[in-house]
């Protein structure tokens, strides 16, 4: 399982080759035991962090503990870690349990007498709205709630401290973190329980049937009621944005179509029985832009799927970056849409085939790869096509270009397959940190992209 130390290492490597943004999937908390639902897009809360990505060995408490330093050097511990790392898919439950045992030992050894670390922890608890209630909610699923409350407060402190350190060090190297804000939260999660009066009951968020997914999708996410949300001044949205912007220089808002309308599905009914519910569009955009301005940060709106015609003009008018996904745009039946300046361009996302898989699929069906590339997959090596496609995006007027690590590693399968459960967002990268650092082709690709971006013609 990757952690914040690995995130920083990737950011440092990317910075050496000209990168300015390091984007991730959501880092928000998930249910990692009972229940076990590790999807980053079904978070327990929009206001706290996912402790599974903490590196406990990079904390003062670990460095101070002779017991823990002996523990991680034992043969049994190392064999357990090696066994987990050999698996094709991350076992988040086992990883979370190992890290929790380490953190619980830190709590046991935490000095009772007042000192700098004690004072820092208590300041965090006092200054973090909702932390006590969040910890109580998480602990309510556990056999020993009292101990669980302390753990969840303590681990949030460690994570927040570690993430802020990573973000600050990367900023000094010219790289900002790009975080992702999911469209909803888990119906049994903290946000939906803490603010239950603001949520619509007996419905969930999803998407209607379309040619790509004929049965539609039920995402099992709790929707906020637009009228109730308005009455509290959009507090949950503001809280979520401030949490992300506390460390991020860029936030991607998942399914920004929801600022215009959200598809609600009645409980127990198929998506075809759902309906769109309108949102207070102007007010939601004002909230987002106010928080982005306060944080001196950028906002990206995920505008993929069935997009109402008013969405993209509204994003441009508000100064919010749209998305341009080449595998979608260049593979349509007609001329490819020009790459706009106010967008984040990339070949794909976690929901799409990495480029190697995309290219193999084009070759399998023996068809021209795309309108955008204009040459056949059957006679063009994937590596050549990947570089050509990436450099085309690099020369475009797009504000930002994202390069997927899985494309650098030649992956062929997407991280997420809608409708599949159990293995989404858990497949290990083929490319390890060690191989990434030694990969001259990847380094050359990023350096070439940097040169092209610096000299491109911007309209």
Is residue 163 scored above 90 in pLDDT? yes
Q: Tell me which of 172, 194, 228 is where a domain ends.
A: 172
pTM above 0.75, yes or no: yes
Residues 73 and 220 in one domain: no
Question: Could you give the percent of the chain with pLDDT greater than 90?
Answer: 85
Q: Considering only 273-277, 325-329, 397-401, which range has the smallest mean pLDDT?
A: 325-329
57 with 125, same domain?
yes
pLDDT in tens, 44-100: 999 999 999 999 999 999 999 999 999 999 999 999 999 999 999 999 999 999 999
If one counts the domains in the chain, the total is 2
Q: State how far the alpha carbon of 7 is from the alpha carbons of 23, 24, 58, 74, 432, in Å.
A: 10, 9, 13, 26, 12
The predicted pLDDT at position 420 comes to: 64
Please give the residue that has the higher pLDDT: either 372 or 369. Answer: 372
Domain termination site, one of 120, 151, 172: 172
Q: Are residues 288 and 434 in the same domain?
A: yes
Q: Are residues 357 and 237 in the same domain?
A: yes
pLDDT grade, residue 114 (50/70/90)?
confident
Same domain, residue pair 124 and 25: no
My answer on whether 155 and 228 are in the same domain is: no
**The last residue of a domain, from among 146, 172, 198:** 172
The parent domain of residue 403 ranges over 4-41+173-457
Tell me the two tokens of residue 288: 């987002």
pLDDT-derived band of residue 417, with 50, 70 and 90 as boundaries?
A: confident
Helix/strand/coil for 48:
coil
Q: In this predicted structure, what is the pLDDT of residue 395? A: 96
Asked whether residue 246 carries a pLDDT value surpassing 60, the answer given is: yes
Are 440 and 419 members of one domain? yes
Instruction: Note whether 217 and 135 are same-domain residues.
Output: no
User: Are residues 371 and 430 in contact, defined by beta-carbon separation less than 8 angstroms?
Assistant: no
Across the beta sheet with 343-346, the strand order is 322-325, 343-346, 400-401
Same domain for 445 and 318: yes
Question: What are the pLDDT digits (tens) for 128-155?
Answer: 999 999 999 999 999 999 999 999 999 9
Same domain, residue pair 411 and 451? yes
Give the pLDDT confidence score for residue 421 in this predicted structure: 63
Question: Mean pLDDT throughout 9-20?
Answer: 98
């Amino acid at each position: 399982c990757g952690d914040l130390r690995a995130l920083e290492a990737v950011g440092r490597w990317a910075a050496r080759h000209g990168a300015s943004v390091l984007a991730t999937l959501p880092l928000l908390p998930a249910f990692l035991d009972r229940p076990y639902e590790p999807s980053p897009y079904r978070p327990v809360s929009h206001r706290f962090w996912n402790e599974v990505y903490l590196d406990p060995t990079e904390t003062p408490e670990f460095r101070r503990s002779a017991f823990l330093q002996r523990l991680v050097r034992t043969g049994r511990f190392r064999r357990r870690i090696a066994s987990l790392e050999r698996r094709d898919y991350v076992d988040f439950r086992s990883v979370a349990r190992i890290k929790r045992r380490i953190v619980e030992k830190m709590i046991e050894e935490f000095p009772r007498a007042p000192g700098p670390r004690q004072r820092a922890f208590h300041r965090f608890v006092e200054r973090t709205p909702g932390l006590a209630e969040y910890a109580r909610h998480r602990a309510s699923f556990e056999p020993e709630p009292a101990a669980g409350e302390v753990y969840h407060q303590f681990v949030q402190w460690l994570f927040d401290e570690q993430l802020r350190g990573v973000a600050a060090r990367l900023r000094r190297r010219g790289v900002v973190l790009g975080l992702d804000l999911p469209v909803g939260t888990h119906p049994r999660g903290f946000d939906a329980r803490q603010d239950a009066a603001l949520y619509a009951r007996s419905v969930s968020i999803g998407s209607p049937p379309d040619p790509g997914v004929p049965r539609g999708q039920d995402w099992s996410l709790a929707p906020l009621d637009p009228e109730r949300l308005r009455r509290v001044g959009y507090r949950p949205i503001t809280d979520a944005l401030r949490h992300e912007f506390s460390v991020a220089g860029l936030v991607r808002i998942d399914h920004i179509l929801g600022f215009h309308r959200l598809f609600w599905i009645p409980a127990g009914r198929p998506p075809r029985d759902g309906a769109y519910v309108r949102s207070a569009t102007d007010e939601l955009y004002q909230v987002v832009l106010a928080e982005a301005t306060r944080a001196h940060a950028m906002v990206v709106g995920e505008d993929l799927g069935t997009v109402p015609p008013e969405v993209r003009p509204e994003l441009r008018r508000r100064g919010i970056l749209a998305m341009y996904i080449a595998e979608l745009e260049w593979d349509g039946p007609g001329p490819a849409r020009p790459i706009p300046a106010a967008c984040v361009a990339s070949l794909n996302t976690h929901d799409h085939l990495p480029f190697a898989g995309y290219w193999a699929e084009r070759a399998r069906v023996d068809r021209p790869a795309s309108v955008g590339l204009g040459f056949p997959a059957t006679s063009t090596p994937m590596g050549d096509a990947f570089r050509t496609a990436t450099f085309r995006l690099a020369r475009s007027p797009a504000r930002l270009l994202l390069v997927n690590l899985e494309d650098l590693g030649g992956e062929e399968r997407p991280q997420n397959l809608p409708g599949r459960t159990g293995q989404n967002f858990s497949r290990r990268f083929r490319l390890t940190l060690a191989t990434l650092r030694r990969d001259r082709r990847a380094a050359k690709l990023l350096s070439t992209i940097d040169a092209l971006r610096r000299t491109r013609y911007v309209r």
